[in-house]
Amino acid sequence: MITRELWGKSACGKEIYLYTLTNSKGAYVKLGSVGAAVVSAVVPDKDGNMADVVLGYDDAQSYFGDGPCMGKIPGRFANRIGEGKFTLDGVEYKLPVNNGPNHLHGGPEGFQNKVWDSREHEGGVEFMYYSEDGEMGYPGALKAVARYEWSEDCELRLTLTAESDAPTILNLTNHAYFNLNGEGSGTVLGHTLKLNASEYLPTTDSQIPLGESEPVAGTPMDFVNEKPIGQDIEADFLPLKIGKGYDHCWVIDGAEPGQLQACAELYAPESGRLLEIFTTQPGVQVYTGNWLVGCPEGKNGHVYNDYDGVAIECQNYPDAPNKADYPTCVLRPGEVFEQAIIFAFSVR
């Protein structure tokens, strides 16, 4: 069942909608049209008790310009582009710098801070955003669509598609923060994480990849076998000191364009909830909510602290426009960008 309600209006008067998708088990997700956001995911624990496992806000206005990019789809390019510039077909483009010396999540007026058009369609909800040529410095007029579907098995499927009328760059993901004990329940450092990734991308001190990936074996970046997120987070290891925790891109083993691949497993021993993530994307940025303090008030009056949620963002690699060896992020006229992410909730 899908319902829609008016959630508010933007500063320019555009209506903001909140959709609720409920399955026969009573589990549901809520989706908001600011940034095509995942606002809630209410799923059972090992004893059948329901809780909302996605961090977010009650007030639609809090989704505009929030630092964490809570639950939303950033764009035109998720993650960082070094020094806010790239060259495409011999032309250099300059983008707003909004994260130290770099460009982050499409800039201050990225897709995550826009009200997307929305509709219920064929058993799911579709959000559409039309980005003008030159918006935030990016070339080409681009139409992006995010389609969400919620299954009887508590699987949230996100399909991202886009087309452009001129060559451009694109990297789309979802930036939901998960706490499988329930949002507002405290830290996720006791959750265990397993990544289908034997290599990661080391970065500069401003978190731009240096280039080639490196093995995780023997480092705190090793999640090939599940371990508590907090086990090594304070290790004397430069990458973790740079970001005050995990905020890195891992290279998904066996990733092939267009093919769904296992990406991650997040598990909360206390509640027994398990989240399995599958994707067609080549990389996954894991961000342990290192800077959540000071974000808008959370749902139910909760105040979120650092490490109260973890974002597992399936995407292309950071700074891909400036790294010829990385999977291409170029979208040309006549091509269709299409990527999928599945968030599968269960218990064990």
226 among known catalytic residues: no
Q: Which of 126, 135, 183, 313 is catalytic?
A: 313
The CA distance from 192 to 126, in Å, is: 32
- Which residue, among 107, 161, 178, 174, has the nearest Cα to 314 in the 3D structure? 174
Q: Which of 105, 175, 191, 248 is catalytic?
A: 175
The CA distance from 147 to 19, in Å, is: 12
- Which residue, among 151, 174, 157, has the nearest Cα to 75 in the 3D structure? 174
How large is the C-alpha radius of gyration of the chain? 19
Task: Please give the full DSSP string across 252-276, using - where no structure is assigned.
Answer: PTT--TT--EEEEEEE-TTT-EEEE
Beta 283-287 vs 227-228: how paired, if at all?
Answer: unpaired
Q: How far is CA 295 from the centre of its chain?
A: 17
256 among known catalytic residues: no
First to last CA, the chain: 27
The CA distance from 248 to 317, in Å, is: 10
Helices (H), the chain: 238-243
By annotation, the residues acting in catalysis are 175, 313
